[in-house]
Amino acid sequence: MHLVASQAQPRKTSEPAGSAASFIGTTLVVVFAEADEISRIRKAGSGPVTLKPPYHLGEEDTYLVLPDDIGEEIVDILRDADADLLQEALRDGLLVQGEVRRNVRGRGMVLDAERVCSPADALAASPYAANVTITAGSDPVRALNRLPHVQCTTLSALVDDEGLEQMLRAEDEFIGCTWRAPASAKRLSDIEPTYAFCRRIDDRRVGIELALFREDEELVMVLRPVCISL
């Protein structure tokens, strides 16, 4: 595919911490908790959430808490393009701003939630974190991968040529791999692929609703990282 792209235009608005839009375009570390714990904190709006292993800390104190019965199967859900299970994960999961600490009452870790938001609500209510217009000027894959908020792993990336082409060719939605390590890059052979959920907005625009990255056993997600215009 021979496409070129203009410089990405990032979203410039400053959102209040904990608002739906504040979770867009930020690194969300994926952690796990029992469904009842998530339901309780969703209703309360704040408070401690007892996490299930594996435990990971987010530098930005922003998390996607998924039910532990989904757990790391979120990778399989995206890989297998299971739209129903993906919607279930977004419905039952919870976006949380807070800090992770050791559980003083026992083993394990606790996430002290300061503010929470439904992933579905954040996706429905928020603009994309950036806009990239494909036109004469530069390489679209490079433009997308250089967006600051998708550089959340050391060696993987948001898209490659094949992944971008699949997204742009989709008539309605695309769920699947958008980047994988080149076969020729032996040093990257152990690097996990990137998966994404994208939807066609209209004839000239495709929005990436979420992207999931994995590195060193840690899962991180970015919601609505970019809208691609043709």
Measured in Å, how far apart are the chain's first and last C-alpha atoms?
13
Please give the pLDDT value at position 18.
52
Please give the pLDDT value at position 6.
38
Please give the pLDDT value at position 12.
41
Task: Find out whether 181 and 199 touch, Cβ atoms under 8 Å.
Answer: no
Task: Give CA–CA dist 172/206, Å, rounded.
Answer: 9
| Beta pairing partners, 177 | 195
Task: Give CA–CA dist 229/135, Å, rounded.
Answer: 9
| Beta pairing partners, 43 | none
DSSP 52: B
Please give the pLDDT value at position 105.
73
Cβ-count burial 128-142 (b if 16+ within 10 Å, e if not): bbbbbbbeeeeebbe
Task: Give CA–CA dist 84/77, Å, rounded.
Answer: 9
If the chain, 230 residues long, is cut into consecutive pieces of 10 residues, what is the mean pLDDT of each piece? Answer: 38 54 94 96 95 87 96 97 96 96 84 95 92 85 95 93 95 96 78 96 95 93 96
- Write the burial class of residue 106 (CB in 10 Å: 0-12 exposed, 13-18 middle, 19+ buried): exposed
pLDDT in tens, 64-82: 999 999 999 999 999 999 9
Please give the pLDDT value at position 11.
45
Report CA-CA distances (Å) from 222 to 19, 28, 32, 116, 139.
16, 6, 17, 16, 22
Q: Which helix (H) or strand (E) holds 6?
A: none
Task: Find out whether 159 and 147 touch, Cβ atoms under 8 Å.
Answer: no
Please give the pLDDT value at position 92.
96
Size of the chain, expressed as the number of residues it contains: 230
Please give the pLDDT value at position 173.
97
Q: Read off the tokens for 99.
A: 């800090």
- CA nearest to 117, candidates 20, 43, 48: 20
